[in-house]
Structure 1
Amino acid sequence: MGLMRSIELFVGAGGLGIAASRSGFAPAVVIDWDKWACDTIRENKQRGLAPFAHWNVVECDIRGFDFGQVKGPIDLVTGGPPCQPFSLGGQHRAFLDTRDMFPQAVRAVRTLRPKAFVFENVKGLTRATFASYLEYIRLQLRHPDVVVRDGEPWIDHLARLEEFETSGSHDGLHYNVVMRVLNAANYGVPQRRERVFIVGFRSDLAFDWHFPSPTNGQDALLWSQWRSGEYWDLHRVAKKDRPEAGSGRARALKLASPPMEEPWLTVRDAISDLPDPEHSPEKARAYHDHRFMGGARTYAGHTGSPLDEPAKTLKAGVHGVPGGENMLRRADGSVRYFTVRESARLQTFPDEMVFHGSWTESMRQLGNAVPSLMAEHVLTSVKRRLTQTS
């Protein structure tokens, strides 16, 4: 498959951008206004690390970026727009929160007219209280030429979009749009992390497409742990050191045959080859960003990630104690914070990648990111569909 050109909005630490590059897209430009995230990308670019070495990173407020200056056709627009979804009470406000960046994603699509776009966001966007907001996003992306008028309240713009959608007369630029919440653990990521993906194809291409099927499953992990024992044998865990069998073993015993998909990957799968930064700090120094961070403690609702399950969702470090749930819970019940390197493993970022800023700042970048491998499954499927008739 030949290279297609893409643009990455709100690139952050680069989860989607890495996935796009690995899927065969060549980013013409990647954009973010966050200095630390841009410094992370620039440093990895300077070090010649693929795929950053070929990225043109622009640090700016996207609201001032002129998409018209991009030369040549763009096949794909990607990004994770920061948004401030409002509740039902917020619907009475006349205008959208100025921190909402989805209008900029729509502007990019309207200006660049890509063959496809892939946007992702937090699962919370799909909550019932945000239903009108999500439909507003969908209809704007479906009909990007139906532009909000100066001074027009968002609810009036939504009404115009609904009228246009139901009129059956869709002249101009429009996209066929689908949305789905995906769990990263189901796509080979050693972390339970749910994100909503919004994918659109330009309607004149008349493409049919569906989200890729999961490749990994919980039952397959439970089978390998409690039926075949392959999981423990692989990691050379003696029977006396294995965790007590709980509901997982009971569920595994009900399985009639081995599941066809691959097992979910666990924290142990992801980091067992790394030296423990607390007990072996000298060995840990051989790895980028693999330093022990003290102060981890448990409290109600924050108990860390068990070693033999996919990690809990990494947080951006602003919930509760620093790092929130970003902790490993060892077999003996003790906890420590994940290092930046371990967190990058849990997000399926390259081992050679370095992160700019303090532990807290690096964890913010990682906690806001989409797991690269999960995004790669989606983008590879999109790329395959685009190249079938291009």
Structure 2
Amino acid sequence: MRSVELFVGAGGLGMGASLAGFEPVAVMDWDRWACDTLRENKARGLHPIAHWPIHQGDVKDFDFTSISDDVSLVTGGPPCQPFSMGGQHRAFLDERDMFPQAIRAVRELKPSVFLFENVKGLTRSSFANYLEYIHLQLSYPDVVARENEEWLEHLARLEEHHTFGSKDGLHYRVIKQVLNAADYGVPQRRERVFFVGFRGDTEIRWHFPNQTHSKDALLWSQWRSGEYWDLLEVAKKNRPEGGRGQARAEKLKDKPDSLPWITVRQAISDLPDPEIQPDLAAHFHDHHFQPGARSYPGHTGSPLDEPAKTLKAGVHGVPGGENMLRRPDGSIRYFTVRESARLQTFPDDMVFHGSWTETMRQLGNAVPVQLARIVAEDIHETLRLGS
């Protein structure tokens, strides 16, 4: 099954789709550093990037009708700054809003299904009307805005089209859900809204994959069974205070059926600390100590024995505390690029281009590879059984 990846960035969503069995016929982004990252890994033969047809340029200039192959899936994370908590909250007034281009790709390629991702901020009440506008445009991509038509006028026409129940033309059955990456085995609490739409003529039933991991299961393994500490060989004197987590665990009546959330310690414990062991850390690519970390209210770093806080790109680079590790003794340091890649479930043999700030921007904007693969695998299997 063929796919097209828009706004690929560092490639998390695209890699997940490729690992799920989709074959990309076009992978595109305008960002030089992100494309350099992909090109180098392609030249190094990194699977699955090695066979990607990479296009650097503005998606506005890409002619999707030039793709002659049938496309089963269109994926992408339209730039999220208009909706991000760290952005300027301009939404439809922000020229960086790329949802119109994502919708154009769906209209011109007519895929069996699409998968788009964006920040949770898009679901805030202040964007409610625009969220519905996106939803209806994805549902009826052929109902295009007229010249000089305001978006609210276009929304009204889409609402009329929807309530009339018309099935003429291209239409999709669209569902959206906020997924927390930690609930799917990613060592990071990262909430993002996902849109999935199946073309109306496919007659497919689908729902988002069920969660596999939970916070309660982690707390049980830490404060009830103790197997978390035993497996990681953490002595009692090196364990943090239980606090509210231990109190919550003690209220659990039964051991949860789900798997435990994956923690920062589990994700990076085999890597030497670049601040304490710089000579050993130098043997790992992109694993260098970055000075300057500081803590202040709201930016206290990620505890070692929890999933990381959401890695962020920020409007002006990396915000000053969210991409930090907080050790049990209270000391802090920035995550290295390699550690951040681990937290985003990129493979260890992948390398990244640009300065630390630039590379962290790529990683902060990415979809965790594992989460993307889980959702895309479910879609792939559904299409396979439905064909």
- Aligned pair 1:245/2:255, yes or no? no
- Aligned pair 1:5/2:5, yes or no? no
Aligned partners of 1:215 and 1:157: how far apart in 2? 40
Aligned partners of 2:284 and 2:100: how far apart in 1? 40
8 Å contact kept, 1:180–1:196 = yes
Aligned partners of 2:174 and 2:268: how far apart in 1? 37
- Aligned pair 1:179/2:176, yes or no? yes
* Matching residue of 2:326: 329
Deviation at 1:320, TM superposition (A): 8.7
8 Å contact kept, 1:180–1:197 = yes
* Matching residue of 2:386: 389
Deviation at 1:76, TM superposition (A): 0.1
Deviation at 1:372, TM superposition (A): 1.2
Aligned partners of 1:300 and 1:320: how far apart in 2? 19
8 Å contact kept, 1:85–1:133 = no
Alignment of 1:154-169 (within 5 A): 154-169=151-166
8 Å contact kept, 1:6–1:75 = yes
Aligned partners of 2:304 and 2:93: how far apart in 1? 42
8 Å contact kept, 1:20–1:379 = yes
* Matching residue of 1:34: 31
* Matching residue of 2:282: 285
Which residue of the other structure, out of 198, 210, 226, is the alignment partner of 2:207?
Answer: 210
Aligned partners of 2:198 and 2:274: how far apart in 1? 46
Deviation at 1:363, TM superposition (A): 0.2
8 Å contact kept, 2:5–2:74 = yes
* Matching residue of 2:61: 64
8 Å contact kept, 1:73–1:114 = yes
* Matching residue of 1:170: 167
Aligned partners of 2:351 and 2:234: how far apart in 1? 31
* Matching residue of 2:15: 18
Deviation at 1:253, TM superposition (A): 1.1
* Matching residue of 1:225: 222
Deviation at 1:97, TM superposition (A): 3.4
8 Å contact kept, 1:318–1:324 = no
- Aligned pair 1:135/2:105, yes or no? no
8 Å contact kept, 1:271–1:345 = yes
8 Å contact kept, 1:349–1:371 = yes
8 Å contact kept, 1:86–1:133 = no
Letter in 2 for 1:266: T
Q: 1:96 to 1:145 in 2, by over 3 A?
A: farther
Q: 1:97 to 1:336 in 2, by over 3 A?
A: closer
Which residue of the other structure, out of 311, 316, 337, is the alignment partner of 1:314?
Answer: 311
Aligned partners of 2:294 and 2:195: how far apart in 1? 37
The 3-state SS of whatever aligns with 2:328 is coil
The 3-state SS of whatever aligns with 2:28 is strand
Deviations along 1:79-136, one digit per CA (max 9) or x if unpaired, are 001152599xx99x9x753321101011100000000000000000000110011100
Gaps of 5+ in 1: none
Q: 1:320 to 1:380 in 2, by over 3 A?
A: closer
Which residue of the other structure, out of 321, 342, 347, is the alignment partner of 2:344?
Answer: 347
TM-score, normalised relative to structure 2: 0.96
- Aligned pair 1:264/2:261, yes or no? yes
Aligned partners of 2:345 and 2:84: how far apart in 1? 31
Aligned partners of 1:86 and 1:54: how far apart in 2? 32
Aligned partners of 2:152 and 2:284: how far apart in 1? 52
Moved over 4 A (4+): 317-323
Letter in 2 for 1:211: F
Calculate the aligned-residue CA RMSD, in Å: 1.7
Aligned partners of 2:384 and 2:3: how far apart in 1? 14
Gaps of 5+ in 2: none
Instruction: State the percentage of identical aligned residues.
Output: 68
TM-score, normalised relative to structure 1: 0.95
